Amino acid sequence: MYRHVKDLQFEARPAHPDAHFAMKIQELVGGQFGEMSVMMQYLFQGWNCRIPGKYKDMILDIGTEEIGHVEMLSTMIARLLEGAPSEVTADAAAANPALAAILGGMNPQHSIISGGGALPTNSQGIPWNAGYIVASGNLLTDFRSNVHAEAQSRLQTSRIYNMTDDPGVKAMLKFNLARDTFHQQQWLRGIEQLVADGLADVIEDSHAEEEDADQARTYWTLHEGSAGPQGSWAQGRTPVTDQEVLVHGDTPESTDDGTPPPPDPSLYATYDGSLGTPETGQPSATQSVMSKVKKALD
Amino acid sequence: MYRHVKDLQFEARPAHPDAHFAMKIQELVGGQFGEMSVMMQYLFQGWNCRIPGKYKDMILDIGTEEIGHVEMLSTMIARLLEGAPSEVTADAAAANPALAAILGGMNPQHSIISGGGALPTNSQGIPWNAGYIVASGNLLTDFRSNVHAEAQSRLQTSRIYNMTDDPGVKAMLKFNLARDTFHQQQWLRGIEQLVADGLADVIEDSHAEEEDADQARTYWTLHEGSAGPQGSWAQGRTPVTDQEVLVHGDTPESTDDGTPPPPDPSLYATYDGSLGTPETGQPSATQSVMSKVKKALD
Amino acid sequence: MYRHVKDLQFEARPAHPDAHFAMKIQELVGGQFGEMSVMMQYLFQGWNCRIPGKYKDMILDIGTEEIGHVEMLSTMIARLLEGAPSEVTADAAAANPALAAILGGMNPQHSIISGGGALPTNSQGIPWNAGYIVASGNLLTDFRSNVHAEAQSRLQTSRIYNMTDDPGVKAMLKFNLARDTFHQQQWLRGIEQLVADGLADVIEDSHAEEEDADQARTYWTLHEGSAGPQGSWAQGRTPVTDQEVLVHGDTPESTDDGTPPPPDPSLYATYDGSLGTPETGQPSATQSVMSKVKKALD
Amino acid sequence: MYRHVKDLQFEARPAHPDAHFAMKIQELVGGQFGEMSVMMQYLFQGWNCRIPGKYKDMILDIGTEEIGHVEMLSTMIARLLEGAPSEVTADAAAANPALAAILGGMNPQHSIISGGGALPTNSQGIPWNAGYIVASGNLLTDFRSNVHAEAQSRLQTSRIYNMTDDPGVKAMLKFNLARDTFHQQQWLRGIEQLVADGLADVIEDSHAEEEDADQARTYWTLHEGSAGPQGSWAQGRTPVTDQEVLVHGDTPESTDDGTPPPPDPSLYATYDGSLGTPETGQPSATQSVMSKVKKALD
Amino acid sequence: MYRHVKDLQFEARPAHPDAHFAMKIQELVGGQFGEMSVMMQYLFQGWNCRIPGKYKDMILDIGTEEIGHVEMLSTMIARLLEGAPSEVTADAAAANPALAAILGGMNPQHSIISGGGALPTNSQGIPWNAGYIVASGNLLTDFRSNVHAEAQSRLQTSRIYNMTDDPGVKAMLKFNLARDTFHQQQWLRGIEQLVADGLADVIEDSHAEEEDADQARTYWTLHEGSAGPQGSWAQGRTPVTDQEVLVHGDTPESTDDGTPPPPDPSLYATYDGSLGTPETGQPSATQSVMSKVKKALD
Amino acid sequence: MYRHVKDLQFEARPAHPDAHFAMKIQELVGGQFGEMSVMMQYLFQGWNCRIPGKYKDMILDIGTEEIGHVEMLSTMIARLLEGAPSEVTADAAAANPALAAILGGMNPQHSIISGGGALPTNSQGIPWNAGYIVASGNLLTDFRSNVHAEAQSRLQTSRIYNMTDDPGVKAMLKFNLARDTFHQQQWLRGIEQLVADGLADVIEDSHAEEEDADQARTYWTLHEGSAGPQGSWAQGRTPVTDQEVLVHGDTPESTDDGTPPPPDPSLYATYDGSLGTPETGQPSATQSVMSKVKKALD
């Protein structure tokens, strides 16, 4: 269950309104790596976490913090939009090219849809969607996702920081940059903790004996004159399995030319008969199902 | 520019058709972490890479390989669908509950849309979209994304591997598991190479002096009785800035209650006047723009 | 800012696992009217609310409660999936048609993506998106949206309630049905409060004098023999403007046949010249802009 | 079946072209509450309506009218785009900042995609999608959706009305405002008619005896110092069930901490064993299914 | 403006309900090539058509007909869902594997969302979206799109026709197949009419003199041993420009290795300096804009 | 399997950066008819093609070429963005209206997301999605799709060509225009080859005897005074079946008013009993399934 606390985690007070910047900073609300993404990603990871105690609580501490980050940014956007020239008409703009430029660069939905408030969308007006997030149940894998999300978020925040001179906006972004830095470290150290607690092997070792050992140490070059093998990644021994890295040219492992089977005629795939007559009627899998069902019921 | 090589990188020959498994394995084609994602992610990263030589070539070597992985999986799906009972009717199903169960679990678009071939969608029929991918121009950040994508992909492949007994399918998945393992290592070692080449600092250090130093080392607890601070992540010194980690309770940093400003009346936001009279007409930003324009033109 | 409380608002303990029902109940998590929608809708409405005090606090009280509803449903889904037969293979299914039917009706992403946990998607696997929600800044309009969201949510919950016999699931759904009932009343009474506080007129009266008075009281019949005018909605006086309702046949108000203007030739729209020569070059709007700019700068 | 009538319901003749305004008014064509939404929403509701006569006919009368509203707006947009400076090049813009501002604020797809015509998208270029609409089969619930859709649509139209001075555009928008007003009343009076006809109880009373009676009258406060309970919504008796409203602090009803069950090992969820050994193999639900099947077949 | 006619264009009466088939036939309502697509595609093409008379009227005749096709299919789906076992519970399914199979293959949203009616979605539950349609303003190009849409639609209808034995369903599909056939011919003959009327050249000849003449007649082979050049398409003379077709191996036309320019440092793209120092500050385009503006204003 | 060749197929060197044009040309990368669409469409068609030899190889030759077209356009965009004024702040823009206009018309994601590189999106920032593409398994139908895709692509390229004066950009677009011309011819001649090889009939003749013969030759007029029947398309004989074309007024073929059946009460559809008592409990289809299952097992 959740509770609200009335004050923002950090103040969100721009020195001046700036409707263009309001449009840009929407990327940090509803973009692929905006605060809605990390909020929903960590909440779902926390709810799905099957280890009561420090892991589940840490994930939910950070996820709960991120709800408040969406709140901070939403407040900032409403304030950046104060007095935005949204209902300026063509005649007014005609007399004022600078005003026309501001209007042209505004997000029209900041007026038409939200009435001067934040939108749950990115800087191009695309609604946030849950296809951005990851919650797999495996913490090692998910902490890697979290590292990447914080890294992308910090990179985008760094770029946006360079797009404003407003001291109030910069003050809040300094806070956000710092939280991105701290959280990035949290997830990196979370990975170390998983290793220390013996909880990393479950996926690192999954099917370790079954995977194709040679392919797990082979660099394939697929360019004429590729400089790729000059990197350290294609030299020495693999970190996990401690095997010599191989460099492989572009000859395939197989002699399979990938032709699909002859088609079912009632699906009208174009076919010239060159692969023989397709099997139709009941598929062999079904036939074997049925014979087993019958046997089981005899 | 690209070229095609007729044979698959590895053969894709199931021992038996299996329409249900064809539906599931679509997740590895067109899902969030399917092969279409890594293919497009690495190609865009490679095309946008501004360092000719080993980095650009390595990224494109792997991106080019992934095109072939979509090809392998597409072939596998067409073969798994051979003889699928797609045009079985209600009467036929009525006489055969096992057949009805197979029909019920098939993806109907494997018949109606693709005529027995692979679809550019995930296991639930959702078309792949480019909102899944990342190509930021910053290699450190992007290599972290690549590590996470390979990790999620290998986890999903491991789960799907457990859902089949077919030796032909398993043979191909052993190859895929191994490539996921190898590529995960590539990106991890790529990060080491960036550090060795002095190319990691550009983002790690961005605005390092400006970000809020205390917030870069503070763990916020937002639960009653959170066990989160018991993890090693909330103890000792921060790895990057070498500061003692602080634990902070839930008192906000601010006394800002986040109320948006008085609204522009012509947007009809509900308002009771309690925050004073809104500024309307031309926004101050525009006013200052205009006065500067006028000055510049005088 | 937000805080987490460890216990769920209400327990989420199914008597038995049921993977099919887990698939269906996803509609209440990530569907158009699922808990993610009301959570995000009320949070954005609350953050954008410009009246400190009872309105803003009520909206955020309910929005904060809804975060916990997503949490309850997510927990329920993880428990419904306990021991789900996700890695049953074709051979095992062949021997067991009932098992095959369960497999066929499961959401494969409950295994492949979330590892036995809830997904941020609806019952068909479509990720939640913010295009579902509404936060316009006008409370009267938004409370109407909230009434409708709670009504649709209660209808869907009522339908799903009939799809299970599990006493643990039913206990939680009785709680959810009741909250939907209560919240629906809240928003209806919120509308009464807005009226009582004189805050409803702002939009009800917007442009009241300008809108076309006759069209504001006219029922158009667009069927031969439509029984539509027999309803009370097409009789008596309009509730707001107290005018006699008119019934209008299907003759348009206009003699405008809607033909678009002659096209710009450089856009290659197909055109036979019958509407005369298109204006091209600089549009008149721009020309007038420019002449005004020049005048202003003279 | 449908028929077309050549003239528009109301004329759509702007006094002057205005490419910026064409971009904004797309919100009323293909936005969440644009005319495409109400058109498709009412058509699907009408087609799915199971009461021949006044209800079905009224819904289809309005749905059919809305097709013509999309037509009117599309015509308006094509005319607003007449002579738009779409193929102005960088050099020409360089000589003319006002022209550059107009170009910068245009929707580039108005030239590249539609050749000067309307697009089936919103003001940010996002294609309309059917996830916006509602047709549940329950008329009371759907009429509430219709009230909200007309209310949001009228609000957006009111805002857009303030963004233009063009008398031809304003004339058409006066018509649209009036139809939104009238239709809003239609749906409100449709709700009264459903009540009068005894058709509202089916959903209002669904599971009335089963829902948790206390929760149906309880306001939960989830803020420190929330002013929410000061509203009339948290006082007196509930309108439907005529019970005293209770105010409840933030103590959960449950002592369920929401931990998911021990995971299936073959899904690789991270787990430390603290919840005991997971059940695996065939789920109990399946086991009971199978035993019943066998019994039934014996 | 539009009108409704009470009877369906053709009857939609299945002999028996069939919930599985209702799920499949949704593809023809809300799929990429479903009736919603052709309806919206032709309506937008008609509204945007700039030639009053036979072209505009024909497009709108067919577009208006397609509204009625969505209506027919929606009715069919509601009837196919009559008595669907949507609220069967786990216990009931346990006693009845055939019933379990039907349930597993149903679309759960047919019960939860639409209450037994049609949905505006495809067979996998994905809402229809306007990204499927085309209305470019150029009739030749759009008629080619229409031919392809009718062809894909007829193919899908043919496949679905094979999936049912129901005489009532088949009767309606015979009607639909015939309309697809007829409309396909309409668009093909519409292209002939455009040619006859001299309206095709506008796009066929656009930039004819400017396009690279050699590339307009060259087949590039990008496989080792490609059999592609054996087709008639790579032999003889080009139909339009009457030039000999050339076959070109895989050597690029260029010596451009595609390296992007040195990056702006404030965007933190990874860069080693090997391409020289990036230009920053004001871009040259802006500089030239500014100098021209200044000159114009002097 | 695929290989990369270092040089671009054609050079992509703009004479000058132009951030506005970079925004527009994104339509050719990630729009509905951008190069990502034809690339993925032809690759999936090629992988799913069941005729080894000239067809499969031709499709893959062109699909492989299109990968390189995305590469060329991505390079062009990075170069057009060189030195774009992305981090210009409000103060700087205030002093410079021309700069403000450029900023206003830029895609902010070109800075925030991609760091000066191309995005996998269209000109409005919408991510590419696989719902744009077609690969049905039937080559005749798919080649028609390919003709339409190349035609729309060439139309959009022609329009964009008119929006720039940059000789480097125009040089590349001349190449692209030519390839669109050539590929359009390829697919048209591919259709001729399918006819010549006897591979077209499979779909042209599907259900030829079953489709409703009269409807396959009837033009329906659905306007008062429609000029549609004046076109050659509504006169003479049908090209395929050689029948006289009929013109049909707007009387439906049926007397079916499309009323859905009485609803299942547990789904709460609004119903007044006028259609009789709904069937509930187990649907007849299931009953007949069960009786057959029981018989089969007896």
Q: Is A294 on the interface with D (CB under 8 A)?
A: no
Rg over alpha carbons for chain A, rounded to the nearest Å, is: 28
- For the cut 80, the answer to whether the pLDDT of residue E170 exceeds it is yes
Angle ∠(A50,A56,A57) on CA atoms, nearest 5: 155
Tokens found for residue D116:
């000067």
* Disruptive mutation site among F180, F266, F293 for chain C (greatest number of C CBs within 10 Å): F266
Kindly report, residue by residue over D129-181, the tens digit of the pLDDT.
999 999 999 999 999 999 999 999 999 999 999 999 999 999 999 999 999 99
Q: Is A102 on the interface with F (CB under 8 A)?
A: yes
CA distance C151 to C180: 7
Q: Do E266 and A155 lie within an 8 Å CB cutoff?
A: no
Name the E residues in 241-280 with CB < 8 Å from any F CB. Answer: 241, 250, 252-261, 263-264, 266-269, 278-280
Q: Is E239 on the interface with B (CB under 8 A)?
A: no
What pLDDT was estimated at residue F280?
A: 61
Count, in order, helices (H) and strands (E) of chain E: 11, 3
- The shortest CB-CB distance from B7 to any of A97, A255, A264 is to A255
**Smallest CA–CA distance from B155 into chain D, residue:** D268
CB B159 within 8 A of CB C111: yes
**E58-81 mean pLDDT:** 98
What pLDDT was estimated at residue B280?
A: 61
Q: Do F266 and E226 lie within an 8 Å CB cutoff?
A: no
- Least confident range of B210-219, B229-238, C133-142, C233-242: C233-242
Smallest CA–CA distance, residue A41 to chain B, in Å, is: 14
What pLDDT was estimated at residue A239?
A: 80
- The shortest CB-CB distance from D109 to any of F106, F123, F225 is to F123
Element (H, E) at A92: helix A90-94
Kindly report, residue by residue over D52-77, the tens digit of the pLDDT.
999 999 999 999 999 999 999 999 99
Q: Do F130 and B30 lie within an 8 Å CB cutoff?
A: yes
- For the cut 60, the answer to whether the pLDDT of residue B288 exceeds it is no
- Least confident range of A154-163, D142-151, E230-239, F56-65: E230-239
* pLDDT tens series, chain C, 298 aa: 999 999 999 999 999 999 999 999 999 999 999 999 999 999 999 999 999 999 999 999 999 999 999 999 999 999 999 999 888 888 787 777 778 888 888 999 999 999 999 999 999 999 999 999 999 999 999 999 999 999 999 999 999 999 999 999 999 999 999 999 999 999 999 999 999 999 997 777 788 889 999 999 999 999 989 999 999 999 999 887 789 999 998 899 999 999 999 999 999 999 999 999 886 644 444 444 444 434 444 4
Q: Do B139 and E104 lie within an 8 Å CB cutoff?
A: no
Provide, for chain C, the percentages of residues in helix, strand and coil under a 3-state DSSP scheme, each rounded to the nearest 5.
Answer: 50, 5, 45
Q: Is C199 on the interface with A (CB under 8 A)?
A: no
Average pLDDT, chain B: 90
**Smallest CA–CA distance from B1 into chain E, residue:** E252
Q: ipTM, 2 decimals?
A: 0.92
Closest CA to B95 of E21, E81, F295, C96: F295
Chain B residues with CB under 8 Å of F44 CB are 74, 117-118, 120
Closest CA to A107 of D110, F163, F109: F109
What pLDDT was estimated at residue F142?
A: 97
Q: Do E254 and F9 lie within an 8 Å CB cutoff?
A: yes
Closest CA to F147 of F241, F41, F222, F238: F41
Q: With pLDDT > 90 as the criterion, what percentage of chain E qualifies?
A: 78
CB atoms within 10 A of CB D211: 25
**A43-47 mean pLDDT:** 98
**Smallest CA–CA distance from F103 into chain E, residue:** E286
Kindly report, residue by residue over A1-14, the tens digit of the pLDDT.
999 999 999 999 99
* Disruptive mutation site among A153, A162, A224 for chain E (greatest number of E CBs within 10 Å): A162
Chain D residues with CB under 8 Å of F23 CB are 108
CA distance E84 to C237: 43
In this complex, how many residue pairs, one in chain B and one in chain F, have their CB atoms less than 8 Å apart?
164
- Least confident range of A100-114, A163-177, D41-55: A100-114
Beta bridge partners of F121: F127
**Smallest CA–CA distance from F214 into chain E, residue:** E178
Kindly report, residue by residue over F181-219, the tens digit of the pLDDT.
999 999 999 999 999 999 997 777 788 889 999 999 999
CA distance A175 to A168: 11
What pLDDT was estimated at residue C280?
A: 61
Kindly report, residue by residue over A215-233, the tens digit of the pLDDT.
999 999 999 899 999 999 9
* Disruptive mutation site among E28, E81, E110, E124 for chain B (greatest number of B CBs within 10 Å): E124
- For the cut 50, the answer to whether the pLDDT of residue E294 exceeds it is no
Chain F residues with CB under 8 Å of A166 CB are 90
Q: Is F136 on the interface with C (CB under 8 A)?
A: no
Closest CA to D102 of D80, D74, D117: D80
What pLDDT was estimated at residue F286?
A: 45
In this complex, how many residue pairs, one in chain A and one in chain D, have their CB atoms less than 8 Å apart?
142
The residues, ordered by sequence, that sit 6+ positions from E258 with a Cβ below 8 Å of its Cβ are B47, F6, F7, F8, F12, F71, F72, F75
At A296, is the pLDDT very low, low, confident or very high (cuts 50, 70, 90)? very low
Closest CA to F71 of F111, F27, F24, F39: F39
What pLDDT was estimated at residue D183?
A: 96
What pLDDT was estimated at residue D165?
A: 94
Q: With pLDDT > 70 as the criterion, what percentage of chain E qualifies?
A: 93
- Least confident range of B261-270, D97-106, E4-13: D97-106
Q: Tell how strand B2-4 and strand F2-4 pair up.
A: antiparallel
Q: Is C166 on the interface with D (CB under 8 A)?
A: no
Q: Which residues of chain F have pLDDT under 70?
A: 279-298
Tokens found for residue B70:
């979509």
* Distances in whole angstroms, Cα of residue D53 to Cα of each of B42, B139, C226, E11: 59, 65, 8, 19
What pLDDT was estimated at residue A297?
A: 41
Q: Do D120 and E292 lie within an 8 Å CB cutoff?
A: no
The residues, ordered by sequence, that sit 6+ positions from C195 with a Cβ below 8 Å of its Cβ are none
- The shortest CB-CB distance from B94 to any of F9, F113, F289 is to F289
* Disruptive mutation site among F223, F255, F268, F280 for chain C (greatest number of C CBs within 10 Å): F268
Angle ∠(E233,E235,E238) on CA atoms, nearest 5: 70
Q: Do B158 and A96 lie within an 8 Å CB cutoff?
A: no
Closest CA to C10 of C152, C191, C174: C174
At A237, is the pLDDT very low, low, confident or very high (cuts 50, 70, 90)? very high
- The shortest CB-CB distance from A222 to any of F3, F87, F111 is to F3
Smallest CA–CA distance, residue E194 to chain B, in Å, is: 31
Q: Is A53 on the interface with F (CB under 8 A)?
A: no
Q: Is D125 on the interface with C (CB under 8 A)?
A: no
CB atoms within 10 A of CB B126: 25
Beta bridge partners of A129: C129
Provide, for chain F, the percentages of residues in helix, strand and coil under a 3-state DSSP scheme, each rounded to the nearest 5.
Answer: 50, 5, 45
Name the B residues in 54-93 with CB < 8 Å from any E CB. Answer: 55-56, 86-91, 93
- For the cut 80, the answer to whether the pLDDT of residue B188 exceeds it is yes
Chain A residues with CB under 8 Å of D106 CB are 104
Higher-confidence residue: B289 or C154? C154
Chain E residues with CB under 8 Å of D3 CB are 2-5, 64
Q: Do B101 and E97 lie within an 8 Å CB cutoff?
A: yes
For C277, list phi and psi in degrees, rounded to 5.
-85, 130
**A52-77 mean pLDDT:** 97
At D47, is the pLDDT very low, low, confident or very high (cuts 50, 70, 90)? very high
- For the cut 90, the answer to whether the pLDDT of residue B68 exceeds it is yes
* Disruptive mutation site among E162, E165, E222 for chain A (greatest number of A CBs within 10 Å): E162
Kindly report, residue by residue over D113-125, the tens digit of the pLDDT.
999 999 999 999 9
Angle ∠(C20,C22,C26) on CA atoms, nearest 5: 120
**D225-250 mean pLDDT:** 90
Chain D residues with CB under 8 Å of F108 CB are none
Chain D residues with CB under 8 Å of B268 CB are 155, 158-159
**Smallest CA–CA distance from A9 into chain C, residue:** C1
Tokens found for residue C290:
């420019």
- The shortest CB-CB distance from D123 to any of A100, A109, A115 is to A109
Q: Is D161 on the interface with C (CB under 8 A)?
A: yes
| Residue whose structure tokens are 């499979």 | F202
Closest CA to B56 of E252, E271, F17, F116: E271
Q: Do C152 and D134 lie within an 8 Å CB cutoff?
A: yes
Q: Tell how strand D2-4 and strand B2-4 pair up.
A: unpaired
Smallest CA–CA distance, residue D108 to chain F, in Å, is: 6
Smallest CA–CA distance, residue F7 to chain E, in Å, is: 4
Q: Do E6 and C224 lie within an 8 Å CB cutoff?
A: yes
Average pLDDT, chain A: 90
